[in-house]
Chain A
């Protein structure tokens, strides 16, 4: 069992170093070594995207990355955000508020993945706004990878659309 030493920044806090098996999935690292269970395991093969977290790149861009099969060692040295890092001091983000206001989720198990992915979308729109007429298509492109079994997606998408249209920086 080959082990590696990893350390990364999670929600602005440096974690580790931890000695972990080389092939340990990132989600298991979050759950078992960091106690961060808000990232949800859905499929283990990257098909449902319940498990995505946000990876913040040095160039200022971010991406939502699955954690269910990618090794924790792949995240060594990286800066990531998990669901636990969005609300600061109990204050929810506008996206989280919108999900609540729109009754977007039901069982809630896929919600952290939706929050992370949609947050990445919002931040990318802030860098490159899209025409208002293209908002729906853009949301679908960003979010279609996420499976929700309870809701039929409607209220999730309505909430994301509402947040985008309410922020003049995100559209043109």
Chain B
């Protein structure tokens, strides 16, 4: 069985001893220099600011003053040691895939405006550039071939003079279009990027073992794909290939049994008995653009004398970007030879998944290689960003839902999802399987058969985008649930409550989600909210006052997994002799406020927020000397056990900042590092101070435990001992040579890897799998002798417990729930919808930074409105691949489209003080769309089965 899993770029590349040595090239990824970008410090405005929640974001000051922060901001003159002049590059991209590319003709440009260098595919071949497999395809379309997809780069042009570049760029967009076309090219159907089928049939009672499930029996991929007869594309992602599954056989292979049981589920729904209500629906969701406000931009310099390629990149996946570039240039020679890749990774002006494993950084590297030792800037304008940036997959979802008429319980669900992946594989296979795994949302359905196939085509490539397929699969589900409730005469929320999965019950893959399932609390909040309880009276009153307007109220409730199933993160927490806390993280600040959340997480163990946070660090971790091998999604247990005996081995080095993992994963390792500094630095320092003096000092009187101490204000006390400020404790810890810095690595395959270490003679067990420490400057010679050349003492694991490889089958283990109520008012004469008021309620475990959580919910609301009401991109002709789409045609919600002063966001309190933070950045977007659709139905009596729902479409149904 082959699988393409989220975030796993090259499935079979040997990663042993990778350590950022890629093909013999040293790859270094640096956080941005501390004077500029990604090192943030808390304002020192308030003496108690460190001890309470931060009053401001740690990255707030540079952002509100327009400081240089983003890759778009930097020029060569800003970079230490670079030549001062910047060249400028642009990509000429395919606007048409129906004809072969016959070359570039620049005669339409005045001679003074022509580029100094034109790079074609032959030049890449001559330079022996190797495209990493995740990005497989021609970086530049070869002359004589039809472009593989709309927006595919055809040529790279480089100008030494900015003025000439600026003017030429405008001309090339218009009359001076340099693309020459050749012969008409026929369609070239491509095999889908991936497919998956999840079948689950529960046993006869809730406690029975499942008869069949992905967790017990495995995941099922198609045996083959069969092209369907040519047909007019009826909508986005109309199936062009049918997945063929193993022939059904109840005693055959797992795949054959999946087919057998899946067929039974479908037969039940296709031939229902009178007691079974079956709702059938086909739903379409479109291609969307993430529209992060900063178009993709990069700056790079190839210094041939040092054989070094240095780049400034804005990416959610620094590790992938840098290592992919290292692989790309690994076989260059002569003047183009590269032996070192140094990537400076900046904050980014929005990402939403669209900057995760984007191919753009590879083109930045190309531009540098061919810029003849000159720094060069490659920057998309917004037309180019629409033309080339990763898109949200369009989906067609065909589904059937079966409900017992008498009990109102969901009995069965079958769905076939077809996604449109566009011209590059990127994450398509993974998006498809995640969409399928989320297909039954919050519900407990005992018989399920969901398949997904993601197609390849000539559309602009799709990739990771907020929701990652679950937005597309849960939106139609929530519409069907409302339809079912109506058909049965049941209250929509009560119907949901009766069918919601509860704690300890199995989800679609047959896994019991981790922790409490809090869906019922969310549903209860929705049911009790005045927008819901008073909706009939409100509608009646509104209709009487405004007969020219239709009024409707709708509800939806979803959950979304957070985490990718094989996540890794790194953190370093350093306590200076003065008591300052410095944190370094491998994650990127993509706007969510993660840098501030990271600063906050040192509070629980060190009593204070971090004074400085450095993000996007990837070369800081050499002291851990991590090694990895295999694919964390497919590695067998025996192989994992064998690899684990190597104390340096971890299943995965690092991941992108993605999949809502910031709060749960990236801050976790920070907290664990801070905990170690506390236990082996701060605590023994406190004991030494409290125990000083005759007969054991003030400590002789009480039994002191490290877990019994608390920071109150900025001072540590325990059992009535003298409160000790962190600064005094830090000074003592350094004087005593205790642990003052901890560097950790963590891995999570739906559970944390946990290991034991010996620290200062004590056994320490923690949910981390690698650890290195530094000791205070007063450390005795024996302790200093433990430090290696990196200045760290690298501790071997005494034991380690990596999550069982069976967990690979979970699909998801971590979920957070979010529900929304939307109230709409529709002008009958025009169909224009106004969202009058809305309410969203979510659970996020422990909110590290409540302002960031509510901010995500508010922003997610807006993006949900865009998805449901305003945002649409044609896939092929007339779409963004033509290079003429911009924000005048693609409508992202503005403030006036939203219930700005009437949006209530409620965050449920944690269950207890030790709740972990959950990832919520995606779930907060998802219920908005179906809530609006259900509200529009309430207003118009029409069920829309595609989004966006436009005013003209509403006007048509209103007659």
Interface residues of A (CB under 8 A from B): 1, 3, 20-21, 23-25, 28, 31-32, 35, 37-45, 47-48, 50, 82-84, 86-87, 92, 96, 99-101, 103, 105-112, 115, 136, 140, 143-155, 157
Select which of B61, B166, B382 is within 8 A of A24 by beta carbon: B166
Please name all residues of chain B whose beta carbon is closer than 8 Å to the beta carbon of A144 when the two chains form the complex: 894-896
The 8 A CB mask of B147-186 against A (1 = contact, 0 = none) is 0000000000000001110110010000000000000000
Known interface pairs A99-B64, A140-B900, A151-B859; A28-B56 also in contact (CB < 8 Å): no
- In this assembly, does B38 line the interface, its C-beta being within 8 Å of a C-beta of chain A? no
Residue in B closest to A28 when the chains form the complex, CB atoms:
B166
Known interface pairs A108-B591, A155-B855; A149-B64 also in contact (CB < 8 Å): no
State whether A100 touches B294 (Cβ < 8 A): no
Select which of B167, B292, B593, B860 is within 8 A of A21 by beta carbon: B167
Bound together, the chains give a CA A41 to CA B56 distance in angstroms of 26
Please name all residues of chain A whose beta carbon is closer than 8 Å to the beta carbon of B855 when the two chains form the complex: 103, 106, 150-152, 155
Known interface pairs A50-B293, A103-B57, A103-B851; A38-B67 also in contact (CB < 8 Å): yes
Pairs of residues from A and B, 10 with the lowest C-beta to C-beta distance, nearest first: A38-B66, A107-B591, A108-B63, A109-B349, A83-B66, A152-B862, A152-B858, A47-B887, A103-B851, A106-B591
State whether A44 touches B381 (Cβ < 8 A): yes
The 8 A CB mask of B850-884 against A (1 = contact, 0 = none) is 01100100111111000000000000000000000
CB distance from A88 to the nearest CB of B (A): 11
CB distance from B152 to the nearest CB of A (A): 22
Known interface pairs A42-B382, A140-B896, A154-B903; A108-B113 also in contact (CB < 8 Å): no
Interface residues of B (CB under 8 A from A): 55-57, 59-70, 72-75, 77, 110, 112-113, 162-164, 166-167, 170, 290-295, 347-352, 379, 381-383, 590-593, 851-852, 855, 858-863, 886-888, 892-896, 898, 900-901, 903
Please name all residues of chain B whose beta carbon is closer than 8 Å to the beta carbon of A45 when the two chains form the complex: 382, 886-888
State whether B887 touches A147 (Cβ < 8 A): yes
CB distance from B734 to the nearest CB of A (A): 32
State whether A40 touches B901 (Cβ < 8 A): no
State whether B851 touches A140 (Cβ < 8 A): no
Residue in A closest to B591 when the chains form the complex, CB atoms:
A107
Select which of B64, B167, B887 is within 8 A of A100 by beta carbon: B64
Residue in A closest to B888 when the chains form the complex, CB atoms:
A47
Bound together, the chains give a CA A82 to CA B893 distance in angstroms of 26
State whether A111 touches B294 (Cβ < 8 A): no
Can you show 8 pairs from A to B with CB atoms below 8 A apart? Answer: A86-B65, A92-B64, A96-B64, A99-B60, A106-B859, A107-B292, A149-B862, A152-B863
Bound together, the chains give a CA A115 to CA B67 distance in angstroms of 13
Please name all residues of chain B whose beta carbon is closer than 8 Å to the beta carbon of A3 when the two chains form the complex: 163
State whether B896 touches A152 (Cβ < 8 A): no
Bound together, the chains give a CA A104 to CA B412 distance in angstroms of 45
State whether B60 touches A100 (Cβ < 8 A): yes
Please name all residues of chain B whose beta carbon is closer than 8 Å to the beta carbon of A157 when the two chains form the complex: 895, 900-901
CB distance from B764 to the nearest CB of A (A): 36
Bound together, the chains give a CA A144 to CA B900 distance in angstroms of 11
State whether A37 touches B73 (Cβ < 8 A): yes
Please name all residues of chain B whose beta carbon is closer than 8 Å to the beta carbon of A105 when the two chains form the complex: 60, 63-64
CB distance from B662 to the nearest CB of A (A): 12
Please name all residues of chain B whose beta carbon is closer than 8 Å to the beta carbon of A41 when the two chains form the complex: 72, 295, 379, 381
Bound together, the chains give a CA A56 to CA B895 distance in angstroms of 26
Q: A41-B381, A108-B62, A148-B859 are in contact. List 20 more A-B contacts (CB 8 A).
A: A28-B162, A37-B74, A38-B67, A41-B72, A41-B295, A44-B886, A45-B888, A48-B293, A107-B293, A107-B347, A107-B351, A108-B59, A108-B591, A109-B349, A110-B293, A111-B66, A147-B894, A148-B293, A152-B862, A153-B895
CB distance from B885 to the nearest CB of A (A): 11
Please name all residues of chain B whose beta carbon is closer than 8 Å to the beta carbon of A32 when the two chains form the complex: 75, 162
Bound together, the chains give a CA A35 to CA B74 distance in angstroms of 9
Select which of B69, B351, B861, B900 is within 8 A of A108 by beta carbon: B69
Bound together, the chains give a CA A154 to CA B593 distance in angstroms of 16
Bound together, the chains give a CA A57 to CA B593 distance in angstroms of 38
Residue in A closest to B593 when the chains form the complex, CB atoms:
A106
CB distance from B575 to the nearest CB of A (A): 27
State whether B113 touches A43 (Cβ < 8 A): no
Known interface pairs A21-B167, A140-B900, A149-B892; A108-B886 also in contact (CB < 8 Å): no
Please name all residues of chain B whose beta carbon is closer than 8 Å to the beta carbon of A146 when the two chains form the complex: 894-895
State whether B382 touches A152 (Cβ < 8 A): no
CB distance from A167 to the nearest CB of B (A): 19
Bound together, the chains give a CA A89 to CA B74 distance in angstroms of 23
Known interface pairs A38-B65, A45-B382, A83-B65; A149-B350 also in contact (CB < 8 Å): yes
Bound together, the chains give a CA A140 to CA B898 distance in angstroms of 11
Bound together, the chains give a CA A107 to CA B502 distance in angstroms of 36
Bound together, the chains give a CA A99 to CA B59 distance in angstroms of 12
Known interface pairs A44-B383, A100-B57; A149-B63 also in contact (CB < 8 Å): no
Residue in B closest to A42 when the chains form the complex, CB atoms:
B293
CB distance from A161 to the nearest CB of B (A): 9
Residue in B closest to A112 when the chains form the complex, CB atoms:
B66
Select which of B55, B73, B167 is within 8 A of A23 by beta carbon: B167
Please name all residues of chain A whose beta carbon is closer than 8 Å to the beta carbon of B295 when the two chains form the complex: 41-42
Bound together, the chains give a CA A148 to CA B77 distance in angstroms of 30
Please name all residues of chain A whose beta carbon is closer than 8 Å to the beta carbon of B292 when the two chains form the complex: 107, 109, 149
CB distance from A152 to the nearest CB of B (A): 4
CB distance from B900 to the nearest CB of A (A): 6
CB distance from A44 to the nearest CB of B (A): 5
Most buried by B among A1, A86, A96, A154: A154
Please name all residues of chain A whose beta carbon is closer than 8 Å to the beta carbon of B59 when the two chains form the complex: 108
State whether A109 touches B64 (Cβ < 8 A): no
State whether B163 touches A84 (Cβ < 8 A): no
Bound together, the chains give a CA A152 to CA B61 distance in angstroms of 21
CB distance from B168 to the nearest CB of A (A): 9
Bound together, the chains give a CA A32 to CA B73 distance in angstroms of 10
Please name all residues of chain A whose beta carbon is closer than 8 Å to the beta carbon of B166 when the two chains form the complex: 21, 23-25, 28
Known interface pairs A106-B593, A147-B892; A43-B350 also in contact (CB < 8 Å): no
CB distance from A164 to the nearest CB of B (A): 14
CB distance from A33 to the nearest CB of B (A): 9
Residue in B closest to A86 when the chains form the complex, CB atoms:
B65
Bound together, the chains give a CA A111 to CA B162 distance in angstroms of 27
CB distance from A143 to the nearest CB of B (A): 6
Please name all residues of chain A whose beta carbon is closer than 8 Å to the beta carbon of B901 when the two chains form the complex: 136, 157
CB distance from A107 to the nearest CB of B (A): 3
Please name all residues of chain A whose beta carbon is closer than 8 Å to the beta carbon of B72 when the two chains form the complex: 37, 40-41
Residue in B closest to A20 when the chains form the complex, CB atoms:
B163
